[in-house]
Amino acid sequence: MSHFVPAPLPKPAHLRVFDIDSIYGDLDEEVVVTQRQHRALMKDWEAKYNTTTTSLLKPPYGEIPGWRRNGRLVVPLDLTLKREIMRVVHEGLLTGHPGQDETIAQTCRKYWWPDLRLWIADYVWGCAICQQNKINTHRTRPPMFKIPTDPAALPFQQIAMDLIIGLPESNQHNSILTIVDHGCSCAALFLPCTKEITRLKIAQLYFNHIYRWFGLPNKIISNRDPRFTSHFGKALAAKLGITQNLLTAFHPQTDGLCHRQYGGSAGGFSAD
């Protein structure tokens, strides 16, 4: 006959269950202890900031005795204690770097000290984790340096030229040549063309649409596209006394006006 042998009981284990209230309870006691160490300062703040040791809670409820302002524990000028509060309120497992406004709101629920909001704002600004995870809503852009112009300049004496390519094909055109009056009216012409356009065709478009009314420009601003910087173009510019301003790749300082003319309307362009 077999005998039933019960399984051995597990060894005793000790579990500690805690929540945010228990964490704040330990922190409140630390604040009160620090208040006692700065008793003279707490007495001075009673008259200066209207702090008090009188509890706002009625029996049978109670709270840790200590200096308070509007029911919130007063935190002395102790940098270590303030950082400990931030470790719980801002960096704790139950909070997780909630940001400046939420950190201030959570701290103000239980604690007070002079210039609390400014101190917390500086603390969050210096928090490496917050800055790494911060979403940049303001994209950095290269600065635009204004090219000086003659106040007495006539229309299209100083022009900016550029090509918009990669557009949907329409009437055998898939690009647009932009010519902007850079010195007088800021007027712009958008001339349909193809991305394979040559320097001679660019010159022909300029002759047909601008030269007849305004003549040759004194200055041409363009990027380093070979159609604008070829040996032919340089020789022609030198022969006619035209000065060229060339911008480098990814630094559109000199051609900013031309970019702004079509930048906001690029989605509506069609090479008709």
pLDDT in tens, the chain (272 residues): 566 677 777 777 665 555 555 566 788 889 999 999 999 999 999 999 999 887 665 554 457 788 999 889 999 999 999 999 998 888 876 778 888 899 999 999 999 999 999 999 999 988 888 888 877 666 666 666 666 777 788 888 888 888 888 889 888 999 998 989 987 888 899 999 998 888 788 888 888 888 888 887 878 887 756 666 565 456 556 655 666 555 443 344 545 555 555 554 444 555 55
Four-way CATH pick for 158-268: 3.30.200.190, 3.60.20.10, 3.30.420.10, 3.40.30.10: 3.30.420.10
Cβ density class 12-51: b for 16+ within 10 Å, e for less:
eeeeeeeeeeeebeebbeebeebbeebeeebeebeeeeeb
Cα dist. 134→54, 98, 125, 131 in Å?
42, 11, 10, 5
The answer to whether the beta carbons of residues 76 and 113 sit under 8 Å apart is yes
Four-way CATH pick for 20-133: 1.10.287, 1.10.357, 1.10.340, 1.10.3470: 1.10.340
Tokens 């356009």 -> residue: 197
The answer to whether the beta carbons of residues 122 and 140 sit under 8 Å apart is no
The answer to whether the beta carbons of residues 91 and 97 sit under 8 Å apart is yes
Tokens 């049978």 -> residue: 60
Spans of all domains in the chain: 20-133, 158-268
Report d(CA 30, CA 240) in Å as an integer. Answer: 83
* Topology agreement, domain 20-133 and domain 158-268: no
**pTM to 2 decimals?**
0.45
Report d(CA 21, CA 24) in Å as an integer. Answer: 5
Opening angle at CA 199, ends 210 and 185, nearest 5: 30
